[in-house]
């Protein structure tokens, strides 16, 4: 069926598009602290993170269809549902990126798919207990776990290096910071690239191209790895700035404590089969280092804004996913899917154009925080 093949191609392209937004949305999780303390120049930081995401995507080859299984009845998942879910998650990712809010890409993806499934097959098709146990409870706990680890790490680090002069201390911890940020990037590649691989594999199975239970073909793994790496390299400068400059004013020892806490919590949760959102962990860690250092500036109103965005990520992307499904299904067939694809592309272009004026770039990402994501006086403080 040529019609089906067109739909499948659109779903694959859209899924890779989601992977791309996942990459640039989450660059800040790993690299924000290294960029603001000057441990790495901004462009080098995103390049290193991109390479490690690429490597990470290949390192871990077991692709579980984590998004669908356990959360919705997979029998109700059609190509149109997957497409609508992706549209919902990409639009929400772009919105939060534009506002400079580090929201969870996995929540956006899950919300979009759940919303589209409800629109297609009703609320009974959602496994609510799985959703609460696997998504909502971990999301509520992870910032506190990561935050307390990071706070303790920060207290210890400052106490142990109390007599050390400022310059060698900054120098030493910048090196440590780079190492720990690299671990977070690697962990991100292994976790997040897999989600898109799972979605594409699911679409291929739904289409009958692959047998049920098949693992991801090599071209899917390669394409996803490249998409997330490219996204990471483009760099979500708005989110990086909000995390690194807006939330807490960070010094190198705090940066190292934060990234170590993030890496340890993400890796151990992966190993114990309890997947936490990289974004929630990283944000919790950065807040934790602010709490752990005496006299550190923590802007709680920004933290509140981020938490509010986390709370509405699932429902908001679900609503967009459901709307997209109704539009696609209402028009029907290949044309319906093509229409929501075109709308998605148009909206993405609009977000991109809006973000250019004024843009947050590698040159002004470290400018002094003046209360907004977009620096009011570009090229201020950059020379330092």
| SS3 (DSSP) at 185 | helix
Question: Which residue, 272 or 371, has its beta carbon nearer to other proteins?
Answer: 272
Q: Minimum distance from CB of 304 to other proteins (Å)?
A: 25
The site for other proteins, by CB under 8 A, has a size of 53
When asked if residue 335 is in the footprint of other proteins (CB under 8 A), the reply is: no
When asked if residue 268 is in the footprint of other proteins (CB under 8 A), the reply is: yes
C-alpha distances out from residue 51 to 46, 47, 116, 263, Å: 9, 6, 33, 17
Over the window 112 to 141, marking each residue x when it contacts other proteins by CB under 8 A and - when it does not, the resulting string is -----------------x--xx---x---x
124: exposed, middle or buried (C-beta count within 10 Å: 0-12, 13-18, 19+)?
exposed
When asked if residue 187 is in the footprint of other proteins (CB under 8 A), the reply is: yes
Q: Minimum distance from CB of 301 to other proteins (Å)?
A: 27
Overall residue count recorded for the chain in this entry = 384
d(CA 67, CA 92): 17
Over the window 190 to 209, marking each residue x when it contacts other proteins by CB under 8 A and - when it does not, the resulting string is x-------------------
Q: Do residues 273 and 133 lie in contact, with contact meaning Cβ atoms separated by under 8 Å?
A: no
Instruction: Count CB atoms within 10 A of the CB of residue 125.
Output: 19
Over the window 138 to 167, marking each residue x when it contacts other proteins by CB under 8 A and - when it does not, the resulting string is ---x---xx--xx-xx--xx--xxxxxx--
C-alpha distances out from residue 21 to 145, 205, 216, 261, 361, Å: 26, 24, 21, 25, 17
Q: Minimum distance from CB of 40 to other proteins (Å)?
A: 17
Q: Minimum distance from CB of 70 to other proteins (Å)?
A: 12
Stretch of 117-125, 173-181, 346-354, 359-367 lying at the interface with other proteins (CB under 8 A) = 173-181
d(CA 275, CA 198): 15
Q: Which of 172, 333, 362, 378 binds other proteins (CB under 8 A)?
A: 172
Q: What single-letter DSSP state applies at residue 203?
A: H
Q: Do residues 67 and 198 lie in contact, with contact meaning Cβ atoms separated by under 8 Å?
A: yes
Q: Minimum distance from CB of 344 to other proteins (Å)?
A: 32
When asked if residue 272 is in the footprint of other proteins (CB under 8 A), the reply is: yes
Q: Which of 27, 78, 260, 366 binds other proteins (CB under 8 A)?
A: 260
**What is the rounded end-to-end Cα distance, in angstroms, of the chain?**
60
């Amino acid at each position: 069926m040529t019609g089906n093949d067109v739909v499948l191609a659109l779903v694959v392209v859209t899924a890779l598009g989601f992977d791309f937004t996942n990459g640039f949305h989450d660059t800040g999780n790993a690299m924000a602290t290294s960029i603001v303390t000057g441990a790495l120049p901004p462009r080098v930081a995103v390049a290193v993170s991109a390479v490690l995401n690429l490597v990470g995507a290949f390192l871990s080859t077991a692709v579980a269809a984590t998004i669908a299984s356990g959360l919705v009845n997979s029998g109700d998942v059609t190509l149109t549902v997957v497409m609508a879910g992706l549209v919902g998650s990409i639009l929400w990712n772009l919105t939060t990126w534009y506002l400079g809010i580090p929201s969870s890409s996995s929540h956006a993806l899950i919300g979009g798919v759940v919303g589209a499934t409800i629109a297609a097959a009703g609320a009974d098709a959602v496994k609510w207990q799985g959703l609460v146990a696997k998504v909502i409870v971990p999301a509520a706990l992870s910032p506190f776990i990561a935050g307390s680890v990071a706070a303790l790490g920060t207290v210890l680090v400052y106490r142990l290096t109390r007599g050390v002069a400022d310059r060698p201390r900054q120098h030493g911890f910048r090196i440590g910071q780079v190492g720990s940020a690299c671990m977070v990037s690697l962990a991100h590649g292994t976790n997040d690239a897999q989600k898109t691989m799972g979605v594409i594999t699911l679409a291929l199975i739904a289409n009958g191209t692959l047998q049920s239970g098949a693992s991801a073909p090599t071209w899917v793994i390669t394409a996803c790895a490249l998409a997330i790496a490219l996204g990471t390299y483009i760099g979500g400068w708005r989110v990086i700035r909000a995390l690194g400059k807006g939330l807490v004013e960070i010094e190198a020892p705090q940066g190292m404590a934060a990234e170590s806490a993030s890496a340890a919590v993400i890796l151990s949760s992966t190993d114990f089969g309890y997947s936490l959102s990289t974004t929630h962990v990283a944000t919790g860690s950065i807040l934790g280092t602010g709490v752990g250092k005496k006299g550190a500036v923590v802007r709680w109103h920004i933290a509140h804004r981020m938490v509010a965005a986390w709370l509405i990520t699932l429902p908001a992307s679900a609503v967009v996913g459901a709307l997209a499904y109704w539009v696609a299904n209402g028009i029907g067939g290949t044309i319906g899917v093509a229409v929501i694809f075109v709308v998605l592309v148009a909206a993405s272009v609009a977000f991109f154009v809006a973000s250019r004026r004024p843009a947050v770039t590698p040159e002004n990402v470290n400018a002094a925080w003046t209360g907004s994501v977009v620096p009011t006086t570009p090229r201020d403080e950059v020379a330092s």
